[in-house]
Amino acid sequence: MGISLYSVRLVLNALGDSDYGIFNLIAGVIAMLSFLNVAMTASTQRYLSFHQGTGDFEMQRKVFVNSWILHIGIGVIVVLLLEMLAPFLFNGFLNIPAERVATAKVVYHFMTVSVFFTILTVPFTASLNAHENMLWIAVVNIIESVLKLVIAISLVYFIQTERLSVYGFLTAVLSINIFLLYATYCLKRYKECTVKDYQIEKPLLQELGGFAGWNLFGALCGIGRTQGLAILLNIFFGTVVNAAYGIANQVAGQMNFFSATMLRALNPQIMKSEGMDDRQRMLRLSTMASKFGFFLLAFIAIPCIFEMPAILTLWLKNVPEYSVIFCSLILIGTLTNQLTIGLQSAIQATGKIKAYQSIVGLVLLFNLPLSYFLLRLGFFAYSVLISFCFIELTACIFRMIFLKKMAGLSIKEYFNRVFLKEILPIVSSILVCWIITHTLFFDFRFLVTGIFSTMVFAINVYFFGLCKDEKKIIDTILEKGLIKLKIKNSL
């Protein structure tokens, strides 16, 4: 996370506000399709984990092979659609300085290549998740972050001309290498992962395609919302505001790292529980995922929101206009999403996602006409992110309703185990941050804010935020850690 954030600083300073805004607008139209990776990984992983729960190895092999065939097809279709869309985007639709249009087109084509290999990676990352192999995922994530840093340093010190084009090219090369790292490992390690002895199972392919298709629809709605807001901001305010919006998305993505990693670890167990016909365990794990996901993001997001000006100045040095308010609001919206993040996995586990993806996807897309209406009325640029927060809250309500109908979730119990337990830790953290930021004034104050806020937050989470069964889990982990520490010291 630290490497990635520092890389953004280097890239921003190397490209400048305008070119960085262009990259986040043009490349972002495609690069945000990495969310498709998450959606489609969930589809394949659901079936792999489900059949691991049933103990059917042959079905695991069939799922992987047919998923691989499916994603090759999806990759080709997405690339063709993106190339067909290019003339429309660059013939006056996007607000890009005339002298940079040609460069923006080059970046667009490089990012198309990146998207293709990102989609091909899906069956392999799904297999790693299903096997709960977090080690190799962590290794590849670290390699990817280091290579991004190398690219950023190259832009600053070794590349003097056409930095934007070179950045697009190197980003595409990076996505190819990440694909090779995942594919090579899985093909050698897991027996069900094979691309040689394949046989198309039409009914299974249709089932996988239908499930992936609805997940794809939901992901496209999320991407359409995110990139649609970028385009609206571009049309009304230009590329410099796109730089601020791009930074805000970077901050939200990096802050969400802890929560996303925890969910990645819990997802296979949620899917396997449904495969073993243990729905109560599935619901309990998804509820726990929502609470822990929220806490893991909140403990770092709350002090960051209060100290955002100082953090952005230290991080970026040259902070684009609107960055502070954009980053703060997008973190609030992301925190709202975490309130029911585990319920998404539970809905995936049931396999009944058509109605859910249709309705919740359209709710997310409603952010676009609402934002357009606000901007046409003359509201500030950040009004689109205020509406973003309200839309996320609406989506949370729909997730609870859907899971109640699909799997018998008790909304009252969810409210008691999640929402009520989150109030005291959040209020205490906000109060500590407010007192410090309104009474102390010195350089690097954000360190004091962060330390005291996280201490108070952690104490309140342990004593007031956890239920008895969750506290037992934490106590067991701590006891095991202490035992290992004692053994090490004795040796």
Angle (nearest 5°) at CA 144 between 301 and 11: 70
Smallest CA-to-CA distance from 108 within 26, 19, 210 is with 26
Smallest CA-to-CA distance from 391 within 427, 425, 364 is with 364
Give, to the nearest 10 degrees, the angle between helix 279-306 and helix 308-316: 80
d(CA 73, CA 91): 29
Strands (E), 273-428: none
The answer to whether 429 and 456 have CB atoms below 8 angstroms apart is yes
171's tokens: 């980003």
47's tokens: 């079936």
In whole angstroms, how far apart are CA 397 and each of 283, 356, 409?
Answer: 17, 12, 13
For CA atoms 107, 113, 119, 123, give the dihedral sign.
negative
d(CA 75, CA 77): 6
Residues 6+ apart with CB under 8 A from 240: 17, 18, 21, 320, 321
The answer to whether 381 and 237 have CB atoms below 8 angstroms apart is yes
In whole angstroms, how far apart are CA 214 and each of 217, 221, 228?
Answer: 5, 11, 20
d(CA 122, CA 144): 16
d(CA 59, CA 250): 38
d(CA 205, CA 212): 10
Q: Which residue has the tokens 């902070």?
A: 319
Angle (nearest 5°) at CA 105 between 219 and 319: 75
CA within 13 Å, CB half, 453: 28
Residues 6+ apart with CB under 8 A from 345: 42, 263, 266, 267, 270, 271, 286, 289
Residue 426 amino acid letter: I
User: How far is C-alpha 350 from the chain's CA centre?
Assistant: 22
Q: What is the pLDDT along the chain (491 residues), one digit of tens a residue?
A: 777 777 777 777 777 766 666 666 655 555 555 556 666 666 777 777 777 777 777 788 888 888 888 888 888 888 888 888 888 877 766 667 777 778 778 888 888 888 888 888 888 888 888 888 888 988 998 898 899 888 888 877 777 777 778 888 888 899 899 999 999 999 998 888 877 766 777 787 787 777 877 887 887 788 788 888 888 888 888 777 888 888 888 788 777 777 777 777 788 888 888 878 888 999 999 999 999 999 989 988 999 999 999 988 888 877 888 889 999 999 999 999 999 988 988 988 888 888 998 999 899 999 999 999 999 998 988 899 999 999 999 999 999 999 999 888 999 999 999 999 999 999 999 999 999 999 999 888 999 999 999 999 999 999 999 988 888 888 888 888 787 777 666 66
User: How far is C-alpha 420 from the chain's CA centre?
Assistant: 26
d(CA 97, CA 201): 50
d(CA 211, CA 46): 10
Phi, psi at 461, each rounded to 5°? -65, -45
